[in-house]
Structure 1
Amino acid sequence: MSNPKTPAAAPAGGRGAAKKELPERFQSYKNVWVFIEMERGKVHSVSWELLGEGRKLADKLGVELAAVIMGPPGEGITHAINDSWAYGADLAYVIADPLLTDYRNQTFTKGLNDLVNTHQPEILLLGASTLGRDLAGSLATTLKTGLTADCTELAIDDDRCLAATRPTFGGTLLCTIYTLNFRPQMATVRPRVMAMPERTEGRSGRVIEFPLNMAEENIITKVLDFLPDVTSDKVNLAYADVVVAGGLGLGSPANFKLVTDLAEVLGADYGGSRPTIQKGWLPADRQIGQTGKTIRPKLYIAAGISGAIQHRVGVEGADMILAINADPNATIFEFAHYGIVGDALQILPALTAAFRERLGKLRMAS
């Protein structure tokens, strides 16, 4: 991440009101790029979310939006190009090479670094996935530019600079960071932080092919085998339509059964706030918030959760938030759509019984 105390960046409060012209050395940097993360022919949905956000930034700057696609030659790249048009890209930079069949930091960093130095984007966005974080960090280091990680908001200021906002100080504050003295301006965004854009069928654009220029014997890392993660589908909080979560207000880990009971009746997934994970009440893959899973469900029910900033930025994309808390002054009531002031240990069983009865009648009627 760009450090606000270094010349590479400055916090929002440190920028003057006067408009500044971009230095002459930045005049050749144009367009907004989004790295399309693809593994084994499948594109990570965070790439499409970033194209939607990149479209807004490109329109504000009056430049083109480009998709950067890297992988082995084949149908996977072809589908990724066509989907990039549908989600708003104007052009696609494509590096197709058999050496890119599996992700290796050396090959992807080298290819993307050469591409950036040749075509000079103004802004480069990557998903804050496991792959994206690894690639973004090494690429920013190689390019010697700033990187703002895990952003919750992206905007363009009056000086045509990227304003990248992220939580800081353990999630207690939001800080807006600018990379003023280097290009490209880089940022990563976690999955589900940005909304999925609408597809527009029938769009097309330009394809610019670029060589990798590497040989297998010069690559240090070797892929011996591919073992899929057999647990990857067990927790799917980020893409659940309904999520029920509990916080320290539940009093003990045993009381989380009230959360799971309600989730089961609703066909929902469940999770907890960061303090409950830190206490060992739930496993880490159930954590909801900026430092856990970012969610965008149709309905989010939060029981006994105070609503700290790091939790808020991880859930505020939900269509509807129902908060249950005994404290009428709990922060979560400031951004929840509906709130119930009361003891979650009494309200959760009542909700479970009411939903079970209601849903049972609907099934009988159908």
Structure 2
Amino acid sequence: MSVLVIAEHDNASLKGATLNAVTAAVQLGGDVHVLVTGNNAATVAQSAAQVAGVAKVLLAEAPHLADGLAENLAEQILAIAKNYTHILAPATACGKNVMPRVAAKLDVAQISEISKIDSTDTFERPTYAGNAIATVQSADPIKVITVRTTGFDAAAATGGSAAVESIAAVGDSGKSRFLSRDLTKLDRPELGAAKVIVSGGRGVGSGENYHKLLEPLADKLGAALGASRAAVDAGFVPNDYQVGQTGKIVAPTLYIAVGISGAIQHLAGMKDSKVIVAINKDPEAPIFQVADYGLVGDMNVAVPELTAAI
């Protein structure tokens, strides 16, 4: 049995979500191969070769693969799919864009956002915003799977010694073309990979108050900044700050929720955090049901006092 993991990268470095997918692949057993597609991406392939548990890295390079267009990446996966029993990708925006195309072309059902592996054909995945766990069994000859990264620890980035093999790149599908990319440059850790997250909700009151209260605390902790959907919809912060069912799924070591009531959609995105601290003036707020530590009080007083005490 061979398992293929689709690497996520920017042609310069391997994204952390790939390491979680490798852990899932290793649990399936058999040889684990990693596919790196891009242009001038040899550095990424070498990084993937060092990941513990990886037996081989396949490198496909061409100018039309440089920007990760889903149509071209899917065709590259399909070109080698018959060699594998399982094809895995992280359940990120990229994975969710590419893998359904692969599954459709292979005429198999995609198994989405698995959080646990019971056997080589049986998987667990959250449903109903994480309030129920579905057990899914597949008889398809090739299992096409996206991996919820919070369900699996990251594989060690070093310690492996896989061989890197160059493979032929597929031709340009011509179905899409890359025009431009607007990137948000942050001095803070990336939200999806941060060990500590300070997150604000509608209760913060305004964008000005969000930055005044939360940024100093995040600076002290070296934390990423997050937000509930209500805070994003109110225009306090951009939507790439959003944590929840329709935002980013996170599982940091420490999650501090300030002025977040704890709607089910938000809890679905952060309840796997190791330690949850909630600050809210409403003692009946649902967030306290999942919090390890809760403080009922005025955030305008509590947060600056917490910041000063660190």
Counterpart in the other structure of 2:146: 188
Task: Confirm or deny that 1:315 pairs with 2:265.
Answer: no
Report the structure number with the largest CA radius of gyration. 1
Indicate the larger mover: 246-255 or 284-293: 246-255
**Cα distance change, pair 126–335 in 1 and its aligned pair in 2 (3 A):** same
| Structure 1 match to 2:218 | 263
Measure the CA separation in 2 of the matches of 1:101 and 1:270: 30
Contact 1:102 1:223 in 2 (8 A): no
In structure 2, the residue matched to 1:242 is: 196
**Matched residues in 1 for 2:45 and 2:308: separation?**
50
Letter of the 1:259 partner, please give it: L
1:204 aligns with 2:161: yes
Q: Secondary structure at the match of 1:259?
A: helix
* 3-state SS, counterpart of residue 42 of structure 1: coil
Matching residue within 332, 335, 338 for 2:290: 335
Query: Unmatched 5+ residue regions in structure 1?
Result: 1-29, 356-366
| Superimposed CA distance per residue, residues 48-101 of structure 1 (whole angstroms, 9 cap, x where no aligned partner) | 12112222232xxxx332222333476336414422xx3311334444556534
2:24 counterpart letter in structure 1 = E
- Per the alignment, residue 54 of structure 1 pairs with 25
- Give me the TM-score of the superposition, normalised by structure 1: 0.70
Asked if 2 retains the 8 angstrom alpha-carbon contact of 1:193 and 1:295, the reply is: no
Per-residue CA deviation, residues 147-186 of structure 1 (Å, 9 max, x unaligned), is 233x2613224xx423141343xx3633425253423222
Q: Is residue 2:46 matched to residue 1:79?
A: yes
Across the aligned residues of Structure 1 and Structure 2, the Cα RMSD in angstroms comes to: 3.3
- Alignment counterpart, residue 161 of structure 1, candidates 114, 121, 126: 121
Aligned 1:9-158 pairs, distance under 5 A? 30-58=1-29, 63-72=30-39, 75-76=42-43, 78-83=45-50, 86-97=51-62, 99-117=64-82, 119-121=83-85, 123-149=86-112, 151=113, 153-157=115-119
Deviation of 1:103 (Å): 2.6
Cα distance between partner residues in 2 of 1:269 and 1:320: 15
Could you report, residue by residue, the CA deviation over 1:97-134 in whole angstroms, capped at 9, with x for unpaired residues?
565344333332222112112x132x221123333222
* In structure 1, C-alpha distance between the alignment counterparts of 2:40 and 2:69, rounded to whole Å: 16
Alpha carbons of structure 1 residues 215 and 324: separation in structure 2 relative to 1, 3 Å: closer
Whole-Å Cα distance in 2 between the matches of residues 234 and 304 of structure 1? 24
Q: Residues of 1 paired with 2:54 and 2:297: CA distance?
A: 48
Query: Kindly, what percent of the aligned residue pairs are identical?
Result: 28
> What letter corresponds to residue 52 of structure 2 in structure 1?
Y
In structure 2, the CA distance between the partners of 1:330 and 1:56, relative to structure 1 (3 Å rule), is farther
Query: For residues 151 and 182 of structure 2, what CA distance do their matches in structure 1 show?
Result: 24
In 2, Cα distance between equivalents of 1:88 and 1:193: 18
Which amino acid in 2 is paired with 1:204? S
Alpha-carbon distance change, 181 to 285 in structure 1, aligned in 2, over 3 angstroms:
same
Do the aligned partners of 2:38 and 2:61 also contact (CA within 8 Å) in 1?
A: yes
Distance 1:38 1:81, change over 3 A: same
Structure 2 CA distance for partners of 1:102 and 1:252, relative to 1, 3 Å: closer
Residues 131 and 330 of structure 1: CA distance in aligned 2, closer, same or farther (over 3 Å): same
Partner deviation per Cα, 1:325-352 (whole Å, 9 max, x = no partner): 3444544334333222334343223223
Alpha-carbon deviation of 1:45?
Answer: 1.9
The secondary structure found in structure 1 opposite 2:261 is coil
Please tell me the residue identity of whatever aligns with 2:25: G
Segments of 5+ residues of structure 2 without an aligned counterpart are none
Match of 1:285 in 2: 240
- Distance, in Å, in 2 between the alignment partners of 1:276 and 1:125 is 33
**2:184 counterpart of 1:231:** yes
